Amino acid sequence: MADDVRPDVPAIEMRGISKAFGSAVANRDIDLTVRYGEIHALLGENGAGKSTLMNMLSGIYRPDSGSIFVGGREAVFAAPRDSIKRGIGMIHQHFKLVDVMTAWENIALGSAGGLLLNRKRISQEITELSDRYGLDIKPDRKVYEMSVGEKQTLEILKVLYRGARILIMDEPTAVLTPQEIGKLFAIIRNMKEQGCAIVIITHKLNEVMEVSDRITVLRRGEAIATVETACVEIPSLIEMMVGRRMDLSIKRPPCEGAEELLRVDGVTVTGKDRKSALDGISFTLHSHEILGVAGVAGSGQKELCETIAGLQAAEKGRIFFEGQNILGKSPRDIIRLGIRMGFIPEDRLGMGLVGSMDIVHNIILKEYQGQKGVVLRRGPSAQKAQRIVERLDILTPSIHTPVSRLSGGNIQKVLLGREIDSDPKVLITAYPVRGLDIGASYRIYDLLNEQKAKGVGIIFIGEDLDVLIELCDRILVLSGGCVTGELDGARASKEEVGFLMTGGAA
Amino acid sequence: MILPLRITKKDDVPRRQMAAVLVVSIGLALFFSGVVMLFFGLNPIQVFGTIVQGAFGTAMRLEQTMIKAVPLTIASLGILVAFKMKFWNIGGEGQIMMGAFAASWVALYHQGLPAGAMLPLMALASIAAGGVWALIPAIFKAKMGTNETIFTLMMNYIAIKFVMYLQYGPWKDPASQGFPKIPKFPDAALLPDVGGMHAGWVLMLALTGLVFLFMNFTKKGYEIAVVGESLDTARYAGMNIPAIIMTAMFISGGLCGLVGFVQASAIEKTLTWGLSSNYGFTAIITTWLARLNAVTTLFVCLAFAVLLQGADYIQLALHVPAAVAQVVQGIILFFVLGSDFFLRYRVKWIGLARARKEAVQ
């Protein structure tokens, strides 16, 4: 059973927790205390060890050493269900809901009880919980009919129903619009008033400052400090996260003399579920500009990139590259036509690169089609690999190291380096800084700005609205496969973009 | 059950450690097969000695070993090309049979061919037939995404039963007094000896070199490797994936088909339905053990041939049942394939007490 809540005893106390995966140390001697009635932010860059630490709390991993106390009693979790029994609930970034079932069915699923479901009782309990915590859920609504925000609320309700008093949320705002984030924070504050302990894993500083009571900063697997939010400023948090002072403003050099490079005209793409993934999309891309594309995940960003790159068949429409219609041409045709277009796909190791091959063989990927004869020539590509490694300061033992061994930032630099090196006129980048640490992200922004200065037209699919607004000259907003707006980057506000992301018609 | 161990993933294994793990696993395999032999009342030292004698003892036994190494190596090279693309071709048996069938058709029904043309034409026919047999599942995979594992497996039985039908039916030798066998090939259709054994060994060495060069130094070999790693990346790079799948499978099946030619021409001197002798299946194991490297494949197949020949010999010399030889083979495979686990994961002893503590709530 969940432990009784005594306000003087911390909800969670983790002492000297260490965890290693192979030779990589994910957590080193971490102490963490979370109290009932507080919102505790776990702040750190990607790879700092936040998720590992919380996965040990939710019973997914076991620590190599150290101990965990829940409500003052020691806990050893062999499986997630042990953690649930002690009143801990984790809400993952990717929701674990059954689409075709209703809200109450999802809640009843897998919870304790007899063979038969007492529908009336469950519904009643759900209503009680909803009222108590201010959650807005219709028990009979099917999951596939819900927005992302509603699904998340349902996830919260699900763990509360199972008796959780300690909630861990992994990057809860990543998939939400600014409006939905506001609602989520209201719910979290309400739960805090009710005496719950809430841990939020995040790397977004503004949100941390807005909602949390205390912050624990992790860096490279170690706990750097735990501070009261009221007594700390953003610059010192950055310093704790990154290890040095950093200016977090992104430059947007003004663009000059823009000519049209790419014109997308009424492109419609049917997705796998027969619904339109893209519905009559039209826009233009000019030289010397970065065009941002904003949207809730799955609004057609992937299809848009892949259609332009020739990887996705379209139903209708035209795409003009300097006046030539390239829609319906395969990547092979596009290479043969001598169209200089670079594409950095979302899934770097699954699409842009071959993980088990070295840097040279990944450079060859874009070169070998132009080679004559049957023999594969490595020489020129090896030189190019060396040049890219030096130009972009890629940290690698050698150009013959498999790229999957490199860090996320360096993998991205190999990909970006290859695409830039082919001297493109148009560069399509899908979530180019996802998973990268702050330093690497800013290096990528600088590289994109360099290309922009050279006259390249860049499409930047992004998820962080702050970055989109600071970096991009124009922002195109997608919602459900349609363009719901086009904004001037210098004048756009987050609220405005967020409004358009949800369709703009509410 | 609670194990006093903690198992974690390893990042990188140096070559030296890989060799050490291999040596230890072979050592353990020999030790445990020794235990099994003791159990059967055999002296393990004597049995191992006899295996070595059986494989190398006389010029004739050495030839027998090589006779097993040739088809195994060539078939493994064929399997390698498909496996590199993660196309699980387990249809080697059928491709060998179809290759043998085509070579036999040339040999038996075109007896007027000049001596110089007979063998090359048989070889080409066997490559074409084995290649086409492999191409059928490849086309379905490339165009419709069917599962190649089941498909290639089933194609084996069709090929074997087809040859059996020929042997018992239309191709039966009328001069054999009802005995179901196909007539012997004419002399022009028999593979000549080179250096004391049939010329297949020259083919084996040449093909090992060719496949190595093909996989590592040609554009097609590179494309096959990329398709094996990720279809999306191959698409992204503008590769013609169906063409690559079909080319690779034609080569894979063609090499297996060539095995059929060698076995029919040099060993059976005719077509028989038992001709493939499981080489198509054994090749899957040797290719895997060789980690899809052509040169390593040659050495693994030679070692395997020693084992196969030695096992045959101990049955005769020591009157050991065939089952014992198979048990030894099985144990060796178990350890060598199992050692892979220790190359990928690190196992740490943490003691029973701690493991219990972690397991209970």
Q: Do A22 and B358 touch (CB under 8 A)?
A: no
Q: Do A332 and B240 touch (CB under 8 A)?
A: yes
Does A230 share its domain with A286? no
User: Can you tell me which residue has the tokens 């596009």?
Assistant: A334
A452, A491, B240 from A473: Cα distances, Å: 10, 10, 37
Mutate to test the interface with B, among A351, A364, A400 (most CBs of B within 10 A): A351
Q: Taking Cα atoms as reference points, which of A368, A362, A420 lies closest to residue A396?
A: A362
**Measured between CA atoms, how close is A132 to chain B, in angstroms?**
32
Does A112 share its domain with A141? yes
Answer yes or no: is A68 within a domain: yes
User: Is-contact B144 B154, C-beta < 8 A?
Assistant: no
Q: Is residue A103 helix, strand or coil?
A: helix
Q: Taking Cα atoms as reference points, which of B209, B212, B201, B181 lies closest to residue B266?
A: B201
Q: What is the pLDDT, as a whole number, of residue A406?
A: 84
Mean per-residue pLDDT, A7-22: 86
**Which two tokens mark A306?**
């892949």
Answer yes or no: is A377 within a domain: no
**Which two tokens mark A496?**
């405005």
pLDDT tens readout for residues A159-171:
888 888 999 998 8
Cα–Cα distance measured from residue B257 to residue B262, given in angstroms and rounded to the nearest whole number: 9
Q: What is the pLDDT, as a whole number, of residue A108?
A: 82
DSSP category for residue A102: B
Which pLDDT band holds residue A1 (cuts at 50, 70, 90)?
very low
Does A54 share its domain with A199? yes
Cα–Cα distance measured from residue B307 to residue B320, given in angstroms and rounded to the nearest whole number: 15
Beta bridge partner(s), residue A292 = A460, A475
Domain spans, chain B: 1-42+320-361, 66-309
Tell me whether A62 touches chain B (CB under 8 Å): yes
Q: Is residue A107 helix, strand or coil?
A: helix
> Considering A187, A215, A242, which residue would you say is the last residue of a domain?
A242
Beta bridge partner(s), residue A258 = none
> Considering A210, A242, A274, which residue would you say is the last residue of a domain?
A242
Mutate to test the interface with B, among A56, A364, A376 (most CBs of B within 10 A): A376
Tell me whether A81 touches chain B (CB under 8 Å): no
Chain A residue with Cα closest to B233:
A351
Tell me whether A82 touches chain B (CB under 8 Å): yes
Q: Do B236 and A331 touch (CB under 8 A)?
A: yes
User: Is-contact A397 A411, C-beta < 8 A?
Assistant: no
- Report strand pairing: A214-219 vs A197-202: unpaired
User: Can you tell me which residue has the tokens 């007027």?
Assistant: B112
Give all strands of the β-sheet with A260-270 in edge-to-edge order. A276-286, A260-270, A316-321, A324-325
Mutate to test the interface with A, among B217, B236, B293, B356 (most CBs of A within 10 A): B236
Supply the mean pLDDT for chain A. 87
Tell me whether A445 touches chain B (CB under 8 Å): no
Does A304 share its domain with A445? yes
**Structural domains of chain A, count:** 2
**Which two tokens mark A173?**
């705002």
ipTM: 0.84
Cα–Cα distance measured from residue B345 to residue B183, given in angstroms and rounded to the nearest whole number: 55
Chain B residue with Cα closest to A336:
B238
Answer yes or no: is A326 within a domain: yes
B94, B156, B212 from B281: Cα distances, Å: 10, 10, 21
- Report strand pairing: A457-461 vs A474-479: unpaired
Cβ-nearest to A352 among B8, B236, B346: B236
**Measured between CA atoms, how close is B161 to chain A, in angstroms?**
39
Range with lowest mean pLDDT among A257-271, A362-376, A458-472, B11-25: B11-25
Q: Do B232 and A347 touch (CB under 8 A)?
A: yes
Contacts of B219 in chain A (CB under 8 A): 368, 371, 374-376
Mean per-residue pLDDT, A1-8: 58
A:342-381 residues touching chain B, CB 8 A cutoff: 343, 345, 347, 349-357, 361, 364-366, 368-369, 371, 374-376
Contacts of B359 in chain A (CB under 8 A): 78
Percentage of chain A surpassing pLDDT 70? 96
> Considering A183, A209, A242, which residue would you say is the last residue of a domain?
A242
For B237-260, give one letter per residue: b (16+ CB within 10 A) or e.
bbbeeeebbbbbbbbbbbbbbbbb
Angle at B274 between CA B272 and CA B279, to 5 degrees: 125
Does A110 share its domain with A57? yes
Does A65 share its domain with A170? yes
**Measured between CA atoms, how close is B214 to chain A, in angstroms?**
9
Does A230 share its domain with A285? no
Beta bridge partner(s), residue A402 = A358
Instruction: Tell me the HSE value of B140 on the side-chain side, using a 13 A CA sphere.
Output: 13
Q: Taking chain B (361 residues) in consecutive chunks of 10 residues, what is each chunk's mean pLDDT? A: 63 74 86 88 88 91 95 97 96 97 96 90 97 97 92 96 95 89 93 91 97 96 95 93 96 98 96 94 91 93 90 86 77 82 73 60 37
**Which two tokens mark B149?**
């594992």
Q: Do B9 and A77 touch (CB under 8 A)?
A: no
Answer yes or no: is A255 within a domain: no
DSSP category for residue A229: G
Cβ-nearest to B222 among A20, A343, A364: A364
Sign of CA dihedral B37, B42, B48, B54: negative
Does A186 share its domain with A269? no
Longest dimension (CA), chain B: 83
Which pLDDT band holds residue A460 (cuts at 50, 70, 90)?
very high
Cα–Cα distance measured from residue A171 to residue A204, given in angstroms and rounded to the nearest whole number: 9
pLDDT tens readout for residues A420-456:
998 999 999 999 988 777 888 888 999 999 999 999 9
Cβ-nearest to A375 among B9, B10, B217: B217
Cβ-nearest to A330 among B238, B357, B360: B238
Q: Going by C-beta distance under 8 Å and a sequence separation of 6 or more, which residues neighbour residue B27?
A: none
Answer yes or no: is A345 within a domain: no
Tell me whether A70 touches chain B (CB under 8 Å): no
Cβ burial of B353 (10 Å; 0-12, 13-18, 19+) is: exposed
Chain A residue with Cα closest to B232:
A351
Does A291 share its domain with A220? no
Does A132 share its domain with A22? yes
Contacts of A366 in chain B (CB under 8 A): 237
Q: What is the pLDDT, as a whole number, of residue A7?
A: 66
Mean pLDDT comparison of A119-133, A328-342, A449-463, B340-354, highest-scoring range: A449-463
CA-based radius of gyration for chain B: 23
Q: Do A76 and B361 touch (CB under 8 A)?
A: yes
Three-state SS letters, chain B:
CCCCEEEEECCCCCHHHHHHHHHHHHHHHHHHHHHHHHHCCCCHHHHHHHHHHHHHCCHHHHHHHHHHHHHHHHHHHHHHHHHHCCCCCCCHHHHHHHHHHHHHHHHHHCCCCCHHHHHHHHHHHHHHHHHHHHHHHHHHHHHHCCCHHHHHHHHHHHHHHHHHHHHHCCCCCHHHCCCCCCCCCCHHHCCCEECCEECHHHHHHHHHHHHHHHHHHEHHHHHHHHHHHCHHHHHHCCCCHHHHHHHHHHHHHHHHHHHHHHHHHHHHCCCCCCCCCCHHHHHHHHHHHCCCCHHHHHHHHHHHHHHHHHHHHHHHHHCCCHHHHHHHHHHHHHHHHHHHHHHHEEEEECCHHHHHHHHCC
**Measured between CA atoms, how close is B5 to chain A, in angstroms?**
12
Q: What is the pLDDT, as a whole number, of residue A506?
A: 44
Q: What is the pLDDT, as a whole number, of residue B4?
A: 67
User: Can you tell me which residue has the tokens 């001197």?
Assistant: B269
Cα–Cα distance measured from residue B360 to residue B150, given in angstroms and rounded to the nearest whole number: 43
The distance of Cα B218 from the centroid of its chain, to the nearest Å, equals 24
Chain B residue with Cα closest to A308:
B236
Cβ burial of A289 (10 Å; 0-12, 13-18, 19+) is: buried
CATH topology of domain B66-309: ABC transporter involved in vitamin B12 uptake, BtuC (1.10.3470)
Tell me whether A332 touches chain B (CB under 8 Å): yes
Q: Do A76 and B11 touch (CB under 8 A)?
A: no
Tell me whether A1 touches chain B (CB under 8 Å): no
Range with lowest mean pLDDT among A189-203, A270-284, A303-317: A270-284
**Measured between CA atoms, how close is A325 to chain B, in angstroms?**
18
Cα–Cα distance measured from residue A93 to residue A297, given in angstroms and rounded to the nearest whole number: 12
Q: Is residue A387 helix, strand or coil?
A: helix
Beta bridge partner(s), residue A247 = none
Contacts of B358 in chain A (CB under 8 A): 62, 76, 78
Q: Do B8 and A20 touch (CB under 8 A)?
A: yes
Which domain, by its residues, includes A95? Answer: 12-242
pLDDT tens readout for residues A365-419:
988 888 888 899 989 999 999 999 998 888 888 899 899 888 788 899 999 999 9
Mean per-residue pLDDT, A89-118: 78
For residue A311, report the phi and psi dihedrals to the nearest 5 degrees: -95, -5
Q: Taking Cα atoms as reference points, which of A3, A104, A95, A19 lies closest to residue A54?
A: A19
Does A29 share its domain with A90? yes
Query: Which of left, alpha, beta for A69 (phi over 0: left; psi -120 to 50: alpha)?
Result: beta
Q: Do B222 and A371 touch (CB under 8 A)?
A: no
Cα–Cα distance measured from residue B92 to residue B71, given in angstroms and rounded to the nearest whole number: 11
Answer yes or no: is A481 within a domain: yes
Cβ burial of A479 (10 Å; 0-12, 13-18, 19+) is: buried
User: Can you tell me which residue has the tokens 């706990």?
Assistant: A223
Q: What is the CATH number of the domain that holds A118?
A: 3.40.50.300
Cβ-nearest to B237 among A350, A366, A371: A366
Contacts of A77 in chain B (CB under 8 A): 361
Q: Is residue A274 helix, strand or coil?
A: coil
User: Is-contact A403 A353, C-beta < 8 A?
Assistant: yes
Q: What is the pLDDT, as a whole number, of residue A292?
A: 96
Tell me whether A405 touches chain B (CB under 8 Å): yes
User: Is-contact A391 A416, C-beta < 8 A?
Assistant: no
Cβ-nearest to B237 among A22, A82, A365: A365
Specify the DSSP element, H or E, that contains A82. helix A80-85
Q: Do A22 and B8 touch (CB under 8 A)?
A: yes
Does A155 share its domain with A267? no
Answer yes or no: is A406 within a domain: no
For B80-114, give one letter per residue: b (16+ CB within 10 A) or e.
bbbbbbebbbbbbbbbbbbbbbbbbbbbbeeeebe
Beta bridge partner(s), residue A476 = A293, A486
